[in-house]
Structure 1
Amino acid sequence: MSGKNVESLFTEGRLSVITFSTRDATFAIPLEQVRYIEKDVERNIKVDQQTQFNHEVITFQNRAVPLYDFCNLTGSKSATAQAEDLLDTLNAREQDHIEWVAELEKAIKTKTPFTKTTDPNKCAFGIWYNKFKTNDKDLEEVMEKFDQPHRRLHEMAAELLPLSEINQDEALAKLKRERTTTFGALRNLFENARERVTATVRPIIVFVEQGKNKISALRLDNIQDIQTYGLNDFSDDESTEGIMKRKSDEFLIEGYLRNGDGPPIILINCQPLKA
């Protein structure tokens, strides 16, 4: 047999771990199994289309070692994928308002009906914005600033369309000013939000020792802390189904660590006992 059973991970009844999280749960890896930690600078090589249990290749001390995306292993959506979705949404909603302003200008110039919504709560951005939540305080601060210029932008139609019936030139002049001020501020906020979303994505590569001179790497969304637990803080995972069960040859969920009233942390053994 090779590898380590869970009791042998504890030294004198204590186990130090590094903790990290996905959007679904918090995990831990024994500190003694960690060889090296670095930022993900995308120096890996994709060997095939990514699937849940497929991997990439990365170099470690002049050796090619497998690189697994931990979120793929657990079936969770990575922070990178979530950020890409959010960037797509921001780009699409900004384009909506570029078209909105263009349609308003067209309606004023041609005296044709304006068919876009004038209610800031009913456009696609407004509906999304009113439901949007984030745990990132900096991004939250940026997003809160959208409310005033976004509402002002939609109010423009109610002001400028009646004015255009009386004085088209004045309506167009006011639209030109609002395009620079109100709409300019809104577009700057879209750019600030994109910059903040991009800055939040900082994947980490953790190289782990799997025994018999074997090294593998895990791509993590984050590393949170180093913590120490006692054997009494551990409880077995007796389930036969669930995340990572098909990958037990490489990584095994041994059970759960819990200290005090905190939520349980899932313990991953990178050197599971093998028959």
Structure 2
Amino acid sequence: MENAKVIQSADDIDTLWVIVRCGKNLYGFDANLVGNMIALPQVTRIPDSINYMSGTISVRGMIIPLIDLRAYFGHKSADLVVEEFWDQRLADHKNWLNELKASVDEKREFTLATDPHMCAFGKWYDNYKSDNRILAGILVKFDLPHKRIHAIAKEVSTYVAEGKIDEAHHVIEKTTNTELKAMEKLFDEIKQAAREVARRRIAMVIEMEDRTLALDVDEVVAVERISDYEPAPQYQTSHLGITRIGRRNKNDELVLLMEELEF
């Protein structure tokens, strides 16, 4: 924010902001508008609703709309991101085995990763740590079938070099029906577990003069004052209700301030 014009008033100094995380960004809401923050309850879907309308939830007996803040800002929902990630990792290994078979049939070199630590899933797997015991318990089960899948590349290569094409095909088919099936089952399990974890996200209830609604956010970070502001770039954010950008006093993180709620 160097060289930016700071906007500040007496009201600003006294305003408490509820800062939430959604995706990679922080968003700030006037604490006076935040009526409640609860664990995300069961959502009732509404057919043919606007893309960022997740549905409705019941809060203290009142049915209110739930806004997916990620979708509102044009990003994929957290549920969809998780689904796509695991679906792609399964597809990677199906494609890996298909390419191994094709390399045998077409008598050409197999060029995909044979080291289980070097495929996209392996790189992620080696570096990801989960504090959730259910997720961690499922993840550890991937290690053996994942390594066994990649290990057959060397075995198949040896059979091909010896002219034993039928044996090479047998190894690939057996791995497809065992290790790959095991991984497919684990992917289904972890997607279900991830959905359960996602349901523990926070619903932040916003109480305006004319209506009440809830926002589906990833995390409530803090409730604090912000003393440094600048106007938000109009072409980027003003149409989304973000009029200013603040900087947290604690660590200088940027906060997109939603002051004109237009949901």
Class of the TM-score when normalised by the shorter of the 2 chains: 0.5 to 0.7
Whole-Å separation in 2 of the counterparts to 1:211 and 1:190: 50
Question: Which residue matches 2:239?
Answer: 246
Name the CA distance, whole Å, in 1 between partners of 2:229 and 2:23. Answer: 21
Which of 106, 113, 116 does residue 121 from structure 1 map onto? 113
SS in 1 for 2:92: helix
Counterparts in 2 of 1:271 and 1:84: CA distance versus 1, 3 Å? closer
Give per-residue Cα distances to partners, 1:16-68, cap 9 Å, x unaligned.
Answer: 52422213x12232344222323253323244352xxx635414445443332
**SS of the counterpart of 1:28?**
strand
Which residue of structure 2 lines up, in the alignment, with residue 236 of structure 1? Answer: 230
Deviations 1:57-112 (A, max 9, x none): 414445443332212222223322222221331232233355467779xx7xxxxx
1:133 deviation in Å? 8.5
Query: 1 CA distance for matches of 2:90 and 2:41?
Result: 25
Matched, 1:70 2:69: yes
Alignment pair present for 1:137 and 2:133: no
Cα distance in structure 1, aligned partners of 2:12 and 2:179? 56
Determine which structure has more spread, i.e. the larger CA radius of gyration: 1
- Would the aligned equivalents of 2:243 and 2:259 in 1 still touch at CA under 8 Å? yes
TM-score (norm 2): 0.66
What is the alpha-carbon distance in structure 2 between the residues aligned to residue 262 and residue 96 of structure 1?
45
Q: Which residue of 1 aligns with 2:209?
A: 211
Q: Helix, strand or coil: the match of 1:76?
A: coil
Task: Go from structure 1 to structure 2 and tell me whether the alpha carbon gap of 1:145 and 1:163 turns closer, same or farther (over 3 Å shift).
Answer: same
Over the matched positions of the two proteins, sequence identity in percent amounts to 15
Change (3 A) 1:121 1:135: closer
RMSD in angstroms over aligned alpha carbons?
A: 4.4
Residues 236-257 of structure 1, C-alpha deviation per residue, up to 9 Å, x if partnerless? 32432213x2244xxx444313
Stretches of structure 1 that go unaligned for 5 or more consecutive residues are: 108-112
Structure 1 238/119 Cα, relative in aligned 2: closer, same or farther at 3 Å? closer
Please give the alpha-carbon distance, in whole angstroms, between the structure 1 residues aligned to 2:9 and 2:61.
31
Corresponding letter in the other structure for 2:216 = R
Residue number in structure 1 paired with 2:255: 265
User: What TM-score do you get using the length of structure 1 for normalisation?
Assistant: 0.64
**Which residue does the alignment assign to 2:171?**
175
Task: Name the structure 2 match of 1:161.
Answer: 160
Tell me: CA distance 1:193–1:62, structure 2 relative to 1, closer, same or farther (3 Å).
same
C-alpha distance 38-127 of structure 1, shift in aligned 2 (>3 A):
closer
**What corresponds to 1:80 in structure 2?**
79
Contact 1:255 1:266 (C-alpha < 8 Å) held by counterparts: yes
